[in-house]
């Protein structure tokens, strides 16, 4: 675990945030229990939430209600908290507790505890593992990307995301797949992604969660959240991406979805800073009820004419641009129609325009116009708003 002295000294510095990120502010916030000051994992637990502290704390799970009120503690027997960093659950009532905090990248006793907190006595089974691409303990400073604080379960596997501690800072997170069955295992390297070059306090991954209902995946950092969708299988990084800044620097280390697709986060408490449970409404952004605008396109126009949507906008960045109409009769963020990708190489404010034929299941009340630069969403808004 890292005590973020920089966090305590520089938490007021807004300039650390990515200027091109759409900001997301918590809808509600509550104090977490005093015995959860170093919260590092979070998961739904019936109508309540489960969390835990990180390194060298007792082997306890802490149950709280959805407004941060303390409920009880649960002892996880046959376990030790070396550096607990993540908590998630499967579809069968099992929970997975990640003891894989590895700041110096030299641990060789990484494990995930598998347990059932609904049982009267919570007894852990152990998934011991190593990373498939780690050969030195620790590796050279420029390859120290084997710390881990983020994990979720999907389809009988655990997916782990590295927290970059390399010097110089690389900005990459690595994706691994690990069996959810106890025993000695290897975490298989699947992919990696550059999240940004802004530095450890901005782009290193501290939490992850998977929304089974809407098939979305999120990565959390101290200052940002990255939301992936429209991916196939475990190719999360090949999907589309929506990014938010979180309104300031905090030691955010835990995230989980609720039943509908909105999410909770918790923050560690340091010298009176943090120590909060936060609730964020994500669905209004996908439904176009809130304007999403990264300021990379301008003068966006969209209008229904006969059986098509005509659109135009100006772009101030080179890249591959595409436009989609999303929505559905019940308001889901499903893809209805999209344009061909258009490549723009110049730096000028070039006008892009075109039209999209409307499908049979088009609903004028729920349709959303989305503009992408490469796979990054840069603008979305309900179509009906353009006609007001």
Q: Mean pLDDT for each 10-residue chunk of the chain (388 residues)?
A: 34 37 94 96 98 95 98 98 98 97 97 97 98 98 98 98 97 98 98 95 97 96 96 97 91 96 94 91 93 90 81 82 76 65 61 77 82 92 79
Token digits of residue 25? 């502010």
Q: How high is the pLDDT of residue 6?
A: 33
- Residues 6 or more apart whose Cβ sits within 8 Å of residue 90: 96, 153, 156, 180
- Does the predicted model carry a pTM greater than 0.85? yes
CATH of domain 292-387: 2.60.40
Q: How high is the pLDDT of residue 348?
A: 53
Domain boundary assignment for the chain: 5-282, 292-387
- Tens digit of pLDDT for each residue in 144-199? 999 999 999 999 999 999 999 999 999 999 999 999 999 999 999 999 999 999 99
Token digits of residue 107? 């641990």
Q: How high is the pLDDT of residue 241?
A: 97
- Residues 6 or more apart whose Cβ sits within 8 Å of residue 278: 26, 28, 29, 264, 265, 266, 267
Q: How far apart are CA 341 and CA 362, in angstroms?
A: 22
Q: How many Å is the maximal CA-CA distance in the chain?
A: 67
Written as one string, the DSSP assignment of 34-103 is GGGTTEEEEEEETTEEEEEE-TTS-SEEEEE-TTS-EEEEEE-BT---SSEEEEEE-TTS-EEEEE---T
Using alpha carbons, select from 256, 253, 333 the residue that is nearest to residue 292: 333
Q: How high is the pLDDT of residue 154?
A: 98
**Same fold flag, 5-282 and 292-387:** no
Token digits of residue 183? 């025993």
- Tens digit of pLDDT for each residue in 331-386? 467 776 666 666 666 555 667 778 888 777 777 788 888 999 889 999 999 888 87
Q: How high is the pLDDT of residue 349?
A: 63
Using alpha carbons, select from 35, 40, 41, 127 the residue that is nearest to residue 79: 127
- Residues 6 or more apart whose Cβ sits within 8 Å of residue 68: 30, 31, 32, 33, 276, 277
Using alpha carbons, select from 323, 307, 158 the residue that is nearest to residue 234: 158
CATH of domain 5-282: 2.120.10
């Amino acid at each position: 675990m890292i005590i973020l002295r920089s966090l305590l000294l520089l938490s007021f510095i807004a300039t650390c945030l990515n200027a091109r990120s759409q900001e997301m502010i918590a809808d509600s916030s509550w104090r977490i229990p005093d015995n959860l000051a170093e919260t590092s994992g979070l998961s739904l637990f019936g109508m309540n939430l489960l969390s835990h502290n990180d390194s060298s704390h007792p082997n306890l799970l802490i149950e709280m209600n959805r407004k941060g009120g303390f409920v009880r503690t649960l002892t996880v027997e046959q376990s030790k908290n070396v550096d607990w960093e993540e908590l998630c659950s499967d579809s069968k009532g099992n929970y997975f507790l990640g003891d894989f905090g590895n700041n110096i990248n030299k641990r060789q006793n990484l494990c995930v505890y598998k347990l059932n907190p609904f049982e009267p006595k919570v007894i852990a089974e152990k998934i011991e593992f190593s990373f498939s691409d780690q050969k030195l303990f620790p590796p050279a400073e420029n390859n120290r990307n084997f710390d881990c604080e983020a994990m979720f379960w999907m389809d009988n596997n655990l997916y782990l995301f590295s927290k970059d501690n390399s010097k110089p800072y690389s900005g990459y997170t690595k994706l691994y797949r690990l069996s959810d069955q106890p025993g000695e295992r290897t975490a298989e390297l699947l992919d990696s992604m550059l999240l940004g070059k802004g530095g450890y306090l901005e782009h290193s991954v501290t939490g992850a969660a998977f929304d089974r209902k809407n098939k979305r995946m999120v990565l959390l950092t101290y200052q940002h959240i990255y939301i992936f969708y429209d991916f196939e299988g475990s190719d999360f990084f090949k999907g589309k991406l929506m990014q938010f800044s979180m309104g300031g620097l905090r030691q955010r280390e835990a995230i989980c979805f609720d039943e509908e697709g909105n999410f909770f986060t918790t923050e560690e408490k340091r010298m009176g800073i943090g120590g909060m449970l936060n609730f964020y409404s994500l669905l209004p952004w996908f439904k176009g009820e809130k304007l999403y605008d990264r300021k990379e396109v301008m003068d966006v126009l969209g209008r229904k004419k006969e059986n098509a949507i005509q659109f135009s906008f100006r772009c101030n960045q080179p890249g591959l641009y595409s436009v989609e109409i999303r929505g559905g009769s019940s308001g889901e963020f499903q893809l209805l129609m999209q344009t061909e990708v258009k490549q723009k190489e110049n730096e000028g404010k070039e006008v892009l325009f075109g039209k999209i034929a409307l499908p049979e299941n088009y609903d004028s009340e729920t349709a959303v116009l989305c503009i992408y630069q490469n796979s990054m969403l840069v603008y979305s808004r309900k179509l009906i708003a353009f006609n007001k």
